[in-house]
Amino acid sequence: MACLAGLLLRLFRLNQQSFWNDEILTIDNAGGTLLDTLVGLSDPNILPLYYLTVRGLIHTQPAEPWLRLPSVLFGVLSIPLFYAVVRHRGGSGLALTAAALLALSPLHIWYSQEARPYALLLLLSLVALFALQLALDRPTPGRKTAAAVAAASVFYCHTIGLGFILFLAVHVLLATPRQRWIGWAPVGLATALLLFMLWPPAPVEQRPVDLAALDETAIGARLDMLEHYDVVERLDLLEELDVIRELDIVPVRDGG
């Protein structure tokens, strides 16, 4: 019931609002080439994992509900995972209460209706925490490997995941007898290798675009792209040009 209620609440009025500024950044980062999505992102704090999940939906219509749908699914999947995490420590009664609170949480509903990575960030954090709980219960190599991969995936969604990984490491130290700490050293090493060997690659050089050098056709093409996502209709010409400068890294000239 909690999952069904959570799904209905997250689908309700999903396309009520047009894309806002941060969601336009999602379109810009996920709508280019695969190489741009991997190494040419405009926000260094949000890494490619989320953008890779929505690349295939960039050109679907109507754009708002389709591009926000992955966040809806991430949000709904978080509810049973939250139940599993809490049940592991607090029993079924407390877990049901926690799952119901998450399903009805206005803040979680908000982020589950946004074409941004935060619903996925929570989902991956819960996956990592649950995987670690299972590995602590029975520390087999397979479970430890799953915990390391899940922890690294949180970072590849958002760099704030690094702090969450440190929390998981402290949790391991507190939950494990000191004489068994050495058995978790390979897990820490594997997680570190996943973090620092795969990212960041060499960034793609982004050349500034001079607004004065853009002809009317080039400007119109950019505005047409934004109109395709029902954004420009709510902006006046000055705001449209500001969006162009932001997306294309255009230097602003005095009087120009």
Q: Identify the segments of the chain with pLDDT beneath 50.
A: 202, 204-219, 221-222, 228-238, 240-241, 243-245, 247-256
What is residue 200's predicted lDDT score, i.e. its pLDDT? 59
Cβ(212)–Cβ(251) below 8 Å: no
What is residue 210's predicted lDDT score, i.e. its pLDDT? 45
Count of CB atoms situated within 10 Å of the CB of 150: 21
Round to whole Å and give the CA distance between 15 and 36: 28
What is residue 46's predicted lDDT score, i.e. its pLDDT? 86
Round to whole Å and give the CA distance between 159 and 140: 28
**What residue type is 58 in one-letter code?**
I
Round to whole Å and give the CA distance between 31 and 25: 10
CA distances from 196 to 5, 162, 171, 209 (A): 40, 11, 22, 32
What is residue 196's predicted lDDT score, i.e. its pLDDT? 79
What is residue 94's predicted lDDT score, i.e. its pLDDT? 95
What is residue 191's predicted lDDT score, i.e. its pLDDT? 87
